[in-house]
Amino acid sequence: MERIALLAATLCYLFSFGHTLYALGAGRFRPGRFNFIAMALGAAAQGWYLSLRGAMEHSCPIGNLSETLIFLSWSIALIYLVIGPAYRLSLMGAFTAPLLLLLQIVALLLPNEISPRLFPPNPWVETHAALSLVAFGAFGLACIAGIMFLVQEGQLKSRRPSPIFHHLPPISILSEAILRLLWIGFLLLTLSFATGWLAHLAVAGGKCWFSLLIWLLYASILITAKTGSLTGRRFATATSSSFLLALLLLPVIQRLSSHP
């Protein structure tokens, strides 16, 4: 059943991405319900998988890298379902689906065995880890909005903009969405640090330094954006690059988490 849930989620995201590419290529793209429903069904299938794993492990299902990537993908999808309609970012699903597909495919290829527990389940530790991944989900969607910003800016500077130009939201809306998503992710990551502190030594170790590095990185982006030192293209580039760095550090953090 778990494999079926994962394959169903992957197919939903594939359909969403494929449908958008076909519609754009045919010049008949219209903001509609298909993409949103496909993304919602994909998130529901991922939620089904996570609930099955959680029931099996009797804890939050983030015990290995495969589960962590799926939880992260699910977080990005859920935040998109809230943020996308609120900002009328009709094309964001097309930009988000490839990232979710990539995370899903990597998760499917990785071993998905249940890791033996070295310590009894600690609700504070699990809350800390879950909040961190949801924060990463907000950062991931901010990265998507940043890429859309860069594409739209490039279209504005182009003498012959492609058809996608007419379906992308204004860069002012994208900039606002990026900033709000960064604040959501930053506050959630800060809250995860607080729950980690409540867990005391259970989450101590090298992973805290990597997590702190990511926290400081996003704090510096928000501070420089607040002071006006980081705007426009540089703001979007910094946001997208920071998430890619955080994504590269995620396997390291996951590995360190299994060795407290």
Supply the DSSP string of 208-229, one letter for each residue.
Answer: HHHHHHHHHHHHHHHHHHHTTS
Look at residue 259 and tell me if it is in a domain.
Answer: yes
The whole domain housing 163 covers 124-260
Confidence of residue 256 (pLDDT cuts 50, 70, 90): low
- Based on the fold, state whether residues 233 and 187 are members of the same structural domain: yes
226 in any annotated domain? yes
Does residue 3 sit in the same domain as residue 80? Answer: yes
- Residues 61 and 151 occupy one common structural domain: no
Rounded to whole angstroms, the Cα distance separating 128 from 80 reads: 22
Domain shared by 104 and 16, yes or no: yes
pLDDT digits (tens, 9 = 90+) for 8-41: 999 999 888 887 777 766 666 665 677 788 889 9
Task: Extract the tokens encoding 68.
Answer: 């962590």
Confidence of residue 220 (pLDDT cuts 50, 70, 90): very high
What pLDDT score does 41 carry?
Answer: 94
**Residues 251, 134 within the same domain:** yes
- Confirm whether 117 is domain-assigned: no
Answer with the residue of higher pLDDT: 126 or 119. 126
* Same structural domain, 49 and 136: no
Q: Which pLDDT does position 118 carry in this prediction?
A: 44
Residue 168 covered by a domain: yes
Residues 46, 164: one domain? no
Same domain, 149 and 64: no
The rounded distance, in Å, linking the Cα atoms of 115 and 119 is 12
For residues 132 and 96, membership in a common domain is answered with no
Average pLDDT, the chain: 82
Identify which of 96-110, 166-180, 214-228 has the greatest average pLDDT: 214-228
Distance of alpha carbon 152 from alpha carbon 189, whole angstroms: 29
* pLDDT of amino acid 260: 47
Query: 140 and 35, same structural domain?
Result: no
Query: Does 119 reside within a domain?
Result: no
Q: At which of 112, 134, 164 does a domain end?
A: 112
Q: pLDDT tens-digit profile of 144-180?
A: 999 989 988 888 887 777 766 666 788 888 899 999 9
Least confident range of 49-53, 119-123, 202-206: 202-206
Residue 56, pLDDT above cutoff 60? yes
Are 3 and 131 in the same domain? no
Residue finishing a domain among 91, 112, 133 = 112
129, pLDDT greater than 60: yes
On whether residue 118 sits in a domain, the answer given is no
Q: What percentage of the chain exceeds 70 in pLDDT?
A: 82
Q: What is the CATH number of the domain that holds 54?
A: 1.20.120
* Helix pair 206-226, 232-257: axis angle to 10 deg: 170
DSSP label of 89: -
Select from 109, 77, 100, 98 the least CA-distant residue to 3.
109
Q: Which of 45, 78, 112 is the last residue of a domain?
A: 112
Reported confidence tier of residue 115, pLDDT bands at 50, 70, 90: low
Query: For 182-212, how does the pLDDT look when each residue is reduced to its tens digit (9 = 90+)?
Result: 999 999 999 988 887 776 645 445 566 777 8
Of residues 102 and 57, the one with the higher pLDDT is: 102
| d(C-alpha 182, C-alpha 221), whole Å | 9
Residue 253 lies in a domain: yes
Specify whether 260 is located in the same domain as 141: yes
Number of domains the chain is built from: 2
Say if 64 falls within a structural domain: yes
